[in-house]
Amino acid sequence: MLSEREIEQAAWDLGASGRAPDRTVPVAFLLDERPGQRTLYFSRFPGNAPPWAATSAVVQLIQGIHEFHPTRWRHLLRKRIFATAANEMCQGMVKVAAKRLTCPVSSRDHGISLGWEMIEIQRLTPPLLTQLPLSDFPARSDADFLRLARRLASDAAGSVAALLVSPENTILSWAVNRRDPDQNQARHAEVRMIQDYWLRTGRPIPRYARIYTTLKPCKMCAGMIWETAEDVSAIEVVFREMDEGRYARHTVLDPETHARRRACRARNAPVSLISRQLSRQLDV
Ligand SMILES: [Zn+2]
C-alpha cells in the first residue's frame, strides 16, 4: 500500500523531472509491488497541450501499458492509477480499460527518497490506418454514412466502425475495431479515429462535424468525443445499434447523467450535444 506522503512525493518527483521541469505537468502513475521490488509505471503530458488533445497522462499510461507490456497489462491495469488531473476522457478510459483512479493527487516534496524502479510510458504514435478511398463514396445522408460504417466494419473483419464527417460531407477520419478481449481495449474504433485525426491535423473535431458509429459509444469513447470537440454543442453523434452493456450506459453523451453534470461543472457551462440512434427501420 502506498502512503499519502509517498503518493505526493511520487507526483512531485515525476512532475519535476524530464524535459519539462514544471510542477504543473500532469502525471499519472501506478505502482506494481512484488516481493523486494516496487516498480512505478508513469506517464507525463505537457501542461501546455491544447485542451482538445486526444491524449493525456492517464490515456498515455493506459494505452501504453497495453501496447508495451502485452503479457502484463491485465495485471498492471488492475492497480489503482493516481493522477494529478483527469478529464472525462481519462475517467471514461479508466472505467473501460483499467480499474480505479484516484484524482487529483497533490504534488508535494516531503524529502522522501522513494528508491523505486521507474518506467516511463512514452507517448505513442500509433500506425496510421490504411485509408480506403472513401473520398469517392457518394454519401450525403445519415443513412448513407451509417451504411458505409457498417460496410467498413464487415470488410475489415471488425465489429465496430466509426466515421468522422465534416459539415461538407467529407470523411475526415475513420477506424474499425474488433471486439477481441486480447487486443488493446483502450483503442476502440472511435478512439482510433479521433487520435488518428488529431495526430494528422493537430486539430479538434470541427464545429458541425458528425460522428457515425455502428454501435453506441461507450464511456471511454464518449469522453474522448466530448473532450476533443472544438464545440461539443455543435457536433452530432449518430449510431446504429444500442449497446446495452454497462460501459455504454450513462455516458457523458447522454443528458441528465452524472458524467454529463460533472463535465458541465468542469466547463462551467451547460451543453446540448445531440447523440441519437438512427432507426434500423431505415435499413442502414
Ligand atoms: Zn468505446
Span from the CA of 216 to the centroid of ligand 1 (angstroms): 8
Mean pLDDT value across residues 154-169: 85
pTM higher than the cut 0.75:
yes
The more confident residue out of 21 and 157 is: 157
Strand order in the sheet with 80-83: 100-102, 80-83, 27-34, 37-44, 117-120
pLDDT at 135: 61
Give residues whose Cβ lies within 5 Å of ion ligand 1. Answer: 188, 218, 220-221
Span from the CA of 227 to the centroid of ligand 1 (angstroms): 14
Helix, strand, or coil (residue 273): coil
> Is the pLDDT reported for residue 39 higher than 90?
yes
pLDDT at 19: 46
16 burial type by CB count under 10 A (0-12 exposed, 13-18 middle, 19+ buried): middle
With bands split at pLDDT 50, 70 and 90, how would you rate the model's confidence at 134? Answer: low
Span from the CA of 52 to the centroid of ligand 1 (angstroms): 18
Strands, E assignment, 20-144 = 27-34, 37-44, 80-83, 100-102, 117-120
Question: Mind listing the pLDDT tens digit for each residue in 246-269?
Answer: 999 999 999 889 999 999 888 877
Span from the CA of 92 to the centroid of ligand 1 (angstroms): 9
With bands split at pLDDT 50, 70 and 90, how would you rate the model's confidence at 179? Answer: low
Q: Are 235 and 211 in contact (CB under 8 A)?
A: yes
Q: Are 275 and 268 in contact (CB under 8 A)?
A: no
Span from the CA of 120 to the centroid of ligand 1 (angstroms): 26
Strands, E assignment, the chain = 27-34, 37-44, 80-83, 100-102, 117-120, 160-165, 171-177, 210-215, 236-241, 274-277
Helix, strand, or coil (residue 166): coil
Span from the CA of 94 to the centroid of ligand 1 (angstroms): 12
Span from the CA of 259 to the centroid of ligand 1 (angstroms): 15
Span from the CA of 122 to the centroid of ligand 1 (angstroms): 23
**Number of CB atoms found within 10 A of residue 149's CB:** 26
Chain centroid offset of residue 18 CA: 24
